[in-house]
């Protein structure tokens, strides 16, 4: 059995096929019956007509006499504009009528009374004709003479009636077919509704909602629901495992680094030789660099993971920026850098943790590259359906060619000499914005001094 395609369409097609077959069969049967009925009527009329002529047979002066009553022909005329032929023979000799009309097959069968007609179909003068022959014995003197009266009629009218009945039957069959298809489509939809309900219930869920699905379902869906719930359970476990793993990896990497840094700082305080002090400072710088890189790698892993399961919280970017700024302030204060924040409410839908991480990385960069005792401008605004957080510093700005490459992994600007960093910060920010259908815009300030980084994402 094919596994692709829709069950609904397949069921509908199957039911429609059955309906079509039934329609064709019933049409064929109705047409057949109609033809038979029409033919039987013609036979009866032909027989009656021949009999009524045969009933006028008598003998006068040693000759066979007959009349052709008007009724014998008028009853044939009732069917429609058919052509009527007749022939009366006595012992094979033509008495009256069309001599070339075909004779009934076999020996004449004599019936004294009643119909006893013999029927046949033949071609005559370019048309199909139906013939009915009645044979009577007439005494001429002492000799019995077999007189056969044959009435013939073309079959056009019968075909016409049968055709009319057949097209009526076809019309009815088509109507039946249409109704049957509509009903089966409805039935299919109704019986597949529980499946759609389950699909809707799953798709409506938030990305982190992995509770088992509990709902009444038809017996056929129970195995599917059970399997789905087992899958969600396993997925939940694997998510928890990978989050724990990331956190644990961070812990394992950073705790020894913290020890190294601490020891180096203690050593730095106890030695007096300037060269040794210089070396120790370089150790501390290297530790800071690895710690920062480890942190960003883990952040990057977390971001990559979370963007696949993006939350859709309703957020105000102005509030988010204010909170994020507050936590970066102490590091900025160490370099006597102040933030100037202009924030207008800008509502977006997204993952607060990710957007905070993106903004934090951009702000960290701005602080890192800013000279001491300068300002960093942060503007939250919204226009043309997009919210924007613009961070402008008074640092060296982006080199002309480098802005394009900076959001690639591990790329650092031309101006990065002497500053600790891994080059992942802007990549993280860009990944977060891409996941939110936004962009990260890099450029230099309009007055030509300092870098401007904008986080742009659609308003909710």
* Binding residues vs another protein (CB under 8 A): 243, 246-248, 250-251, 254-255, 257-263, 265-266, 268-269, 274, 277, 281, 284-285, 287-288, 291, 294-295, 298-299, 302-303, 306, 327, 329-331, 333-336, 352-354, 356-357, 368, 372-373, 418-420
Identify the three-state secondary structure at position 94: strand
Q: Which is nearer to another protein, 328 or 403 (CB)?
A: 328
Burial 324-354 (b: 16+ CB within 10 A, else e): bbeebeeebeeeebebeeebeebebebbeeb
Burial class of residue 241 in the structure, from the number of CB atoms within 10 Å of its CB (0-12 exposed, 13-18 middle, 19+ buried): exposed
Identify the three-state secondary structure at position 303: helix
| Least distance CB 350 / another protein (angstroms) | 14
- What totals of helices (H) and strands (E) does the chain contain, helices first? 8, 14
DSSP state of 154: E
Beta bridge partners of 154: 129
Beta bridge partners of 429: none
| Least distance CB 183 / another protein (angstroms) | 54
Burial 9-19 (b: 16+ CB within 10 A, else e): eebbeebbeeb
Q: Which is nearer to another protein, 284 or 341 (CB)?
A: 284
| Least distance CB 447 / another protein (angstroms) | 24
| Least distance CB 291 / another protein (angstroms) | 5
Q: Which is nearer to another protein, 302 or 407 (CB)?
A: 302
Q: Which is nearer to another protein, 329 or 412 (CB)?
A: 329
Q: Which is nearer to another protein, 129 or 362 (CB)?
A: 362
Pairing of strands 63-65, 58-60: antiparallel
| Least distance CB 373 / another protein (angstroms) | 7
Confirm if 330 and 459 have CB atoms less than 8 A apart: no
| Least distance CB 247 / another protein (angstroms) | 4
| Least distance CB 287 / another protein (angstroms) | 6
Q: Which is nearer to another protein, 30 or 284 (CB)?
A: 284
| Least distance CB 251 / another protein (angstroms) | 5
Q: Which is nearer to another protein, 228 or 257 (CB)?
A: 257
Residue-by-residue DSSP string for 53-118? HHTT-EEETTEEE----HHHHHHHHTTSS--EEEEEEETTEEEEE-TTSPPPSSSPPB-SSS---E
Burial class of residue 194 in the structure, from the number of CB atoms within 10 Å of its CB (0-12 exposed, 13-18 middle, 19+ buried): middle
Q: Which is nearer to another protein, 421 or 450 (CB)?
A: 421
Angle at the Cα of 161 from the Cα atoms of 41 and 40, rounded to 5 degrees: 15
């Amino acid at each position: 059995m094919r596994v692709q395609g829709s069950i609904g369409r397949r069921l509908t097609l199957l039911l429609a096929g059955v309906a079509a077959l039934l329609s064709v069969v019933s049409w064929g049967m109705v047409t057949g019956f109609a033809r038979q009925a029409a033919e039987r009527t013609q036979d009866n009329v032909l027989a009656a007509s021949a009999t009524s002529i045969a009933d006028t047979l008598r003998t006068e002066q040693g000759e066979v006499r007959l009349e052709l009553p008007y009724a014998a022909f008028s009853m044939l005329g009732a069917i429609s504009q058919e052509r009527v032929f007749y022939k009366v023979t006595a012992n094979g000799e033509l008495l009256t009528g069309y001599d070339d009309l075909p004779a009934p097959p076999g020996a004449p069968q004599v019936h004294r009374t009643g119909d006893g007609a013999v029927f046949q179909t033949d071609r005559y003068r370019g048309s199909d004709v139906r013939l009915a022959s009645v044979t009577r014995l007439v005494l001429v003197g002492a000799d019995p003479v077999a007189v056969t009266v044959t009435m013939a009629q073309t079959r056009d009218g019968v075909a016409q009636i049968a055709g009319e009945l057949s097209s009526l039957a076809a019309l009815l069959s088509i109507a039946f077919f249409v109704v049957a298809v509509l009903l089966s489509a409805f039935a299919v939809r109704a019986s597949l509704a529980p499946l759609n309900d389950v699909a809707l219930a799953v798709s409506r869920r938030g990305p982190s909602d992995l509770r088992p699905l509990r709902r009444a379902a038809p017996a056929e869906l129970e195995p599917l629901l059970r399997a789905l719930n087992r899958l969600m359970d396993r997925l939940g476990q694997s998510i928890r495992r990978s989050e724990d793993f990331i956190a644990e990896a961070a812990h394992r990497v950073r705790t020894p680094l913290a020890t190294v840094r601490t020891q180096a700082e203690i050593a730095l305080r106890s030695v007096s030789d300037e060269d040794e002090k210089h070396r120790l400072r370089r150790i501390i710088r290297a530790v800071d660099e690895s710690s920062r890189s480890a942190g960003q790698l883990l952040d990057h892993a977390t971001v990559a993971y979370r963007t696949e399961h993006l939350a859709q919280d309703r957020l105000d970017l102005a509030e988010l920026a204010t909170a994020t700024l507050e936590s970066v302030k102490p590091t900025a204060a160490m370099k006597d850098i102040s933030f100037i924040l202009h924030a207008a409410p800008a509502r977006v839908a997204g993952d607060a943790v990710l957007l905070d991480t993106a903004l934090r990385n951009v702000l960290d960069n701005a602080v890192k590259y800013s000279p001491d005792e300068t300002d960093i401008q942060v503007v939250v605004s919204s226009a043309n359906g997009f919210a924007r957080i613009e961070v402008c510093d008074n640092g060296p700005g982006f080199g002309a060619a480098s802005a394009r490459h900076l959001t690639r992994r591990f790329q650092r600007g031309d101006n990065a000499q002497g500053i600790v960093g891994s080059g992942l910060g802007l990549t993280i920010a860009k990944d977060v914005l891409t996941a939110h259908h936004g962009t990260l815009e890099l450029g230099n300030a309009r007055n030509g001094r300092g870098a401007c980084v904008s986080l742009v994402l659609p308003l909710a």
